[in-house]
Every structure is written in C-alpha cells, then in structure tokens.
C-alpha cells in the first residue's frame, strides 16, 4: 500500500531517479546570443559609506541586506547547477550552465568584498545573520537535486523582477548614490538578465514537474528576501533607529515598492506555461552589453554617473574608437 501511494506521488510530482533526465525537454534559443563571463574588477574604497544612497537609510540597508545573502546563495546555485550538468545530457544547456556558474562565481566574490567593508564600516552585527545564512544553506544543500533546482529556478525568476525594477527605476532608486555600489549592482543585474533561462532550463531538463517548481518559486524567493530583510533590520538596529516612526514609514515604503515591482514576475513564474524567454530585456541592459563589448581588453570598468539625470550606460564612443584602433 505504502509502495503504491509512494509510486502515485512520484508520478504526480514527476519525480524520477537521478541520472534519468526529462526526455521531453527540448532546448530552445535564448534571448541573448551569448552568456559572457566578465571580470568584476571593482575596487571599493576602504572607507565606503554603508548608507550609500543619500537620505535613504532604509533603502541602503535593504540592498545591503540582499548583498549579504549573495555569498551564501550564489555558491549554492553554482553547486546545484554543477550537479545538474552531470545529471542531464544536453550540450547547449551544459554550455549555458558553465557560463552561468562563471558569472555567479564573479558575483559572490565581489559581494563578499563589499559585505566585508559594510561590516567593517559600522555594521559588525551583520555577522550574526551570516552565521544563520551559512547554517541554512548547509541544510538546503542536503535536499534532493530536484528541490535544489526548483529553488534555484524560482529564485532566478524573482531576480528577473529585481533586474527590471533596479534598471528601469535606477533614477528614482539611486540618485547621487555611491557610484561603485550602484555600478556593481546594475552590472550584476545585467548579467542576471543574460543568464535568466539557465536555472529554469536545468530544472526543466532534470524534472519539468510543475508543482515542485511552483513551490520552488515561493521557497527560493521567500528564503532569500527573508534573510535580506532580517539583515536590513539588523543594520537599522545597529543605527539605533528601529523605534522611530520615520523608520517604520520608510520600511513600509521601501519594502512595499520592492514587492510591488517584483511580485508580477513571481506571479507569472507560477503559471504552468511559464518560460523566462517570454520576459523582455530592458533596453538599458542591451546598451550596457553592447557598450561593454567595445571596452578594450583589461580596461577598468567605467562607473555610472549617478548624478546624471538619465544615468546612462557608462560607455561612450571613445571606448568604441579605442577598440577599433
């Protein structure tokens, strides 16, 4: 009886043993031609201000809180996708996974540098949240590959919402903000858009079952945002502003704005027919990718001018000329 019901649930949820990938998966073209692993050669100033968006304490801590999760989340994504690459048999997807892993590895190394400075420059209590993150990702790493892939694909769907929000609303989010942190976050988001299909494809190639993927959307996004908000609150407490009415108002505004902008992407990801290929890419992202391609090899990344009205991509014709010569 137990065996029968267990077989029923395995069929309903689409579970199959490891090394038996989803035979119905077909790789289709991405929106971008290539996923490029670029050097993240940011050198953050030692005395960088953790409250890096002028007049926006809560917003600064919100993004810092998300940054704190990345050196725990992104190695987990890399490890999960590495496992998936061994379990599936699809050359173009395996090539995408290699590039995905290259990009995510650059991201978390750079986030780690930034997070160390945030802790050093006034917020040592963030270490408590880091210890909880380490513990949580250790137990998550022991789950089945399907659960880990569903989490990864779900998280990446939410990231796509973050990408559109942060890039399209950059003028209202980051006016006169620190140029290093703004440039770093937006470059990270550009690459997230570039590889947005990979974790989803890996899940579909390995399993493809709808319900575990839907649960993964809520699990992946809720887990990361939960830790991000916890880190934000920890930093606000460190400032001693956690009992102020103004802080409560700012928190409602900032967290509400985040949910308002990101939730539509999560809702669409919960559809059985979801495919991140249907989500468009911001024009600024395409301009950034084209501009970066013209940078001379080994050149330092130019920083975004956060005091400019439109915050254009930080590349110009000079770069193109330099490349052409």
160 neighbors 193 (Cβ within 8 angstroms) = yes
**Which span (5-13, 25-33, 190-198, 282-290) binds Fe ion, by CB under 5 A?**
190-198
Select 104 or 201, whichever has its Cβ closest to Fe ion.
104
Of the candidate spans 8-16, 104-112, 229-237, 280-288, the one that interacts with Fe ion by CB under 5 A turns out to be 104-112
How many Å is the Cα radius of gyration of the chain? 20
Residues with Cβ within 8 Å of residue 131, at least 6 apart in sequence: none
DSSP H helix total and E strand total for the chain? 12, 0
Degrees, nearest 5: CA angle 177-178-181: 115
Query: Based on CB atoms, which residue is closest to Fe ion, 110 or 117?
Result: 110
Out of 51, 61, 107, 219, the residue judged to bind Fe ion by CB under 5 A = 107
| Pick 104 or 281: Cβ nearer Fe ion | 104
For the chain, give percent helix, strand, coil, nearest 5. 65, 0, 35
Q: What is the nearest approach in angstroms of Fe ion to the Cβ of residue 251?
A: 25
184 vs 233, beta carbon nearer Fe ion: 184
DSSP code per residue over 12-45? HTT---TT---TT------SSS------------
Among 50, 117, 170, 192, binds Fe ion (CB under 5 A): 192
The answer to whether 250 contacts Fe ion (rule: CB under 5 A) is no
Q: Closer to Fe ion at the Cβ: 99 or 168? A: 99
- Number of residues in contact with Fe ion, rule: CB under 5 A? 3
Binding site for Fe ion (CB under 5 A): 104, 107, 192
């Amino acid at each position: 009886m137990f065996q029968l019901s267990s077989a029923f649930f395995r069929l309903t949820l689409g579970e199959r043993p490891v090394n038996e990938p989803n035979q119905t998966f077909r790789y289709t073209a991405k929106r971008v031609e290539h996923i490029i692993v670029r050097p993240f050669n940011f050198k953050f100033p030692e005395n960088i201000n953790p409250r890096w968006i002028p007049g926006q304490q809560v917003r600064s801590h919100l993004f810092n809180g998300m940054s704190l999760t990345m050196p725990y989340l992104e190695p987990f994504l890399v490890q999960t996708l590495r496992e998936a690459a061994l379990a599936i048999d699809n050359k173009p997807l395996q090539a995408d996974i290699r590039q995905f892993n290259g990009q995510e590895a650059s991201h978390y190394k750079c986030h780690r540098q930034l997070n160390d400075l945030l802790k050093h420059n006034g917020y040592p209590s963030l270490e408590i949240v880091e210890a909880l993150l380490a513990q949580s990702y250790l137990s998550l790493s022991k789950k089945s590959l399907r659960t880990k892939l569903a989490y990864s694909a779900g998280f990446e769907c939410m990231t796509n919402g973050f990408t559109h929000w942060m890039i399209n609303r950059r003028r209202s989010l980051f006016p006169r903000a620190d140029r290093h942190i703004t440039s770093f976050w937006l470059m990270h988001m550009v690459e997230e858009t570039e590889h947005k299909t990979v974790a989803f494809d890996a899940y579909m190639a390995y399993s493809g079952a709808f319900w575990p993927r839907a649960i993964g959307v809520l699990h992946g996004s809720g887990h990361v945002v939960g830790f991000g908000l916890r880190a934000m609150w920890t930093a606000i407490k460190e400032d001693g502003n956690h009992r102020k009415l103004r802080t409560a108002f700012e928190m409602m505004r900032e967290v509400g704005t985040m949910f308002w902008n990101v939730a539509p992407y999560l809702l669409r990801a919960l559809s059985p027919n979801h495919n991140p290929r249907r989500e468009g890419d911001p024009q600024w992202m395409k301009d950034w990718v084209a501009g970066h391609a013209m940078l001379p090899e080994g050149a330092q990344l130019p920083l975004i001018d956060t005091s400019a009205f439109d915050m254009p991509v930080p590349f110009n014709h000079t770069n193109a000329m330099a490349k052409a010569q």
